[in-house]
Amino acid sequence: MGHFREKYIGDRAFYKMLMAVAVPIMIQNGITNFVSLLDNIMVGRIGTEQMSGVAIVNQIMFIYFLCLFGGMSGAGIFTAQYYGYKDNRGIQYTFRYKLWMGFIITAVAVLVMLVSGSDLVSLFLNESSSGGDLQATLNYALGYMRIIFFSMPLVFVSFTYSSTLRECGETMVPMRAGLTAVFVNLVFNYLLIYGKLGFPKMGVYGAAIATGISRAVECAIIVIWLHTHAKIHPYIRGLYSSVRIPLPVVRKFFVTGAPLLVNETLWSTGIFLLNQAYSLRGLNVVAGQNIASTINNVFNISFIALGDAIAIIVGQLLGAGKMKEAKDTDTKIIAAAIMIGCVVTAVMVLTAPLFPRLYNTNPEARKLATMFLIVMGLTTPKEAFLHTTYFTIRSGGKTLITFVFDSVFMCLVSVPVAYILSRFTGLHVIAIFAIIHALDLIKCVVGYVLVKKNVWMKNIVA
């Protein structure tokens, strides 16, 4: 028992250090996801078609967000280690690289959605005995998408600034900016969706405008703060004196980051295809899964933040050459994530029937949402382990391994199985959903072996 406690459970100083990094991220993500839940409920109270239209667009935007995350994460690994190594010039290079990568990914995403937006949305619109106005859903989705375009440049700029701050140990400022933004989003959602206090009643389009306003506020706060605190973060001085990055440095970032970009692109596309497979059972599945996923995101903030903590804390320890301390810290964070996941399982399963009642949708969609939530709750410890394992392997620059571990499995196992089960069997959608989650146990075994063998323990900046 003493050995178990020493290996997996940290002392007070450890948890104080961990919470200093993780809690601001938890608070920001928690409030962001909670307001997203309120936003989702506000739209959901208008009707099933409106909620489903927004949910489908968010599925497409999910690919964009993860492409941004993947494209910038390779440079982010170097940022954390450059910070541990006290190399401000290196941080400037990673910052510029992120800006260029964000611009390119955003331009490509906008072009794809302009050309093929209608076709992408239509993949989720399938006739079923439960009914639903598919044409109205398509119209709501396309109108929402056109407004969202204008806020996408703000997304990649905010992500560049906030991710760099976190990788350099500053988590409070992105948290405050995020909190302010979600408050602004909530207020303007109320005003513009329902037409309160003299504002026009715009429904789902009001929700899109409110999102854009909140992103502008978040971006302004982070950018202004960083540029007025150059004494604390000296890498910001002279950042824009040039936008050039030495070619060998670009090559180094790209070689490390390309597998992450491909990984996140393929993984998010895989999630898109999984959800499209589930949607073959009808529009109520789209609505039910949207409700369940939004609620699930609120419950998952703890282990998501611990994954970010691994990227920051373990990355800095590797950059400083403290390998033994990095391994010990990583083991304790993974253990903490799994324990928290077990608590979340109990809470989600017990409360699953309650949340769908907040939505103005039909009984079938509510029933499906409840069943989706129960499955999500039961698999939370598995998700906690996989998430923290992924960031462990990534922290040492082993991005090719994370690519195989994550998206190759998705493309070769999860998506084909979902495709076959949804099209060639009469299985209920919840059964298919549970089978896909059960397949991830294979990844758990592989992840455990990779972490145990210490393949990730590498200093990539010294």
Instruction: Per-residue pLDDT tens, the chain, 462 aa: give them.
Output: 556 666 767 778 888 888 888 887 787 677 667 766 777 777 777 777 888 888 888 888 888 888 888 888 878 878 877 887 778 888 889 999 999 999 999 999 999 999 988 898 888 887 655 556 788 888 888 989 999 888 899 989 999 999 899 888 887 888 889 888 888 988 998 899 989 988 999 988 898 999 899 999 999 999 999 999 988 888 888 888 888 888 888 888 888 777 777 877 888 888 889 988 998 888 888 888 888 988 888 888 887 888 878 877 887 788 777 888 888 888 888 988 899 999 999 999 999 999 888 887 788 889 999 999 999 999 999 999 998 888 888 777 676 777 777 788 888 999 999 999 999 998 999 999 999 999 999 989 988 888 888 777 777 665
Please state, as a whole number, how many other Cβ atoms lie within 10 Å of the Cβ of residue 133. Answer: 15
Nearest to 92 by CA among 230, 220, 194, 198: 230
Please tell me the distance from the alpha carbon of residue 177 to that of residue 40, in angstroms, as a whole number: 21
Using an 8 Å Cβ cutoff, are 462 and 321 in contact?
yes
Residue located via tokens 């959800």: 275
The DSSP call for residue 78 is H
Residue located via tokens 């999910």: 62
DSSP SS3 for 44: helix
Using an 8 Å Cβ cutoff, are 185 and 39 in contact?
yes
- Residue 373 has what pLDDT? 94
CA 435 to chain CA centroid, nearest Å: 23
